[in-house]
Amino acid sequence: MHELSLAQGLLSQLQALAKEHGAEKIVLVRVSIGAQSGIVIDSFVFGFNAIKTTLALSRDAVLEISEVEGSDLILMQVEME
Amino acid sequence: MCDTCGCHISDDTSSKIVEVHQSLLAANQEQADKNREHIEAMGAVAINLISSPGSGKTTLLEHTLDRIGRNMRIGVIEGDIETERDADRIRKKGVPVVQLTTGGACHLDAPLVHKGLHALEHQSEDGKFDLVFIENVGNLVCPATFDLGEHERIILVSVPEGSDKPAKYPTTFHGANTFMITKTDLLSYFDFSVEEAKNEALRLNPDLRIMEVGAPAGLGMDQWISYLEELVAAH
């Protein structure tokens, strides 16, 4: 799997959600990663933490990963203000 | 907004939790499926060429276009991190070509190819093609994960790279339709076992079609051209 690219996809999705809800800051991001997805969790977290700093919106966002069954990567919840 | 009466209250500590439940993997697949429909509306068959850098993708295209560039309506989408060099080579063959540069990403993805398809259409009078080649960024790993909307996926490994490559890149070979061994004119200079490469590839993917070419020397090109003609005719 392609962790950095997926992290970039996550960031785009967060931008869209923030715009939709009129939010200025992302506080918390909850993501479920399927154990069979082939995604290396550490790499994904590393990638996200590296690119989140490129936007004021996401600079302080905390990423919380739950490892679940299955092969998908799902953005579950976003806390924003 | 106040839940009770709907008035606008400004609440400085308001943070809200939004339930999303969206797959992050689905996004590329959705666009890929749309690309496939788009390509079909163009009347074309799309082929995704994947290989390590320098395996001979662009050279294969050049020789292919020399042979059938005038008989079929062919368009090419080139993918690279930087430069337009590959598109420049294809342009000399007189067919519509678009260069996509990722600027850093080591693979093409469906959204980028979507842009490429539109740009390609603009270069043709009626936006119709028989065959669209998508030459991916040189990389045997990452492109495998990204459906671009192609009908056929071809993996190229050249003789100098070694016959152990299929075994080392299982995901890439699993997802392919055709495995092409390139630079076969160099077999006598290298320790490449065609049998090993074929067996390993078929073990990973028993349905794989396997071809051998040495494009500049014309080796295997008749078979390759027939395959392309079949693909287009069957469409």
User: B178-230: per-residue pLDDT in tens?
Assistant: 999 999 999 999 999 999 999 999 999 999 999 999 999 999 999 999 999 99
CA dist A9 and A65 (Å) reads: 16
Residues of chain A found within 8 Å of residue B139, distances taken between Cβ atoms: none
- Chains A and B form CB pairs within 8 A to the count of 63
Domain residue ranges of chain A, discontinuous segments joined by +: 3-80
Residues of chain A found within 8 Å of residue B17, distances taken between Cβ atoms: 28, 77-79
**What pLDDT, on a 0 to 100 scale, did the predictor assign at position B135?**
98
Residues of chain B found within 8 Å of residue A74, distances taken between Cβ atoms: 21-24
Mean pLDDT of the residues in chain B: 93
Q: Are A76 and B29 in contact (CB under 8 A)?
A: no
Q: Are A40 and A4 in contact (CB under 8 A)?
A: no
Task: Tell me, yes or no, if B16 comes closer than 8 A to chain A by beta carbon.
Answer: yes
Question: What range does the domain containing B91 cover?
Answer: 27-233
Give domain status of residue B7, yes or no. Answer: no
Nearest-Cα distance to chain B for A73, in Å, is 6
Q: Are A49 and A59 in contact (CB under 8 A)?
A: no
* Strands ordered across the beta sheet of B152-158: B97-101, B74-80, B131-135, B45-51, B152-158, B178-182, B209-212
Give domain status of residue B4, yes or no. Answer: no
Q: How many domains does chain B have?
A: 1
pLDDT at residue B72 tops 80: yes
Q: Quick one: pLDDT band at residue A39, thresholds 50, 70, 90?
A: confident
Q: Quick one: pLDDT band at residue B73, thresholds 50, 70, 90?
A: very high
Task: Tell me, yes or no, if A23 comes closer than 8 A to chain B by beta carbon.
Answer: yes
Closest residue to B22, CB basis, from A13, A79, A81:
A13
Give domain status of residue B22, yes or no. Answer: no
B102: nearest CA partner in chain A: A5
Give domain status of residue B16, yes or no. Answer: no
Q: For position B176, which CATH number holds? A: 3.40.50.300
Domain at A3-80, CATH class: alpha beta
Give domain status of residue B43, yes or no. Answer: yes
Nearest-Cα distance to chain B for A49, in Å, is 17
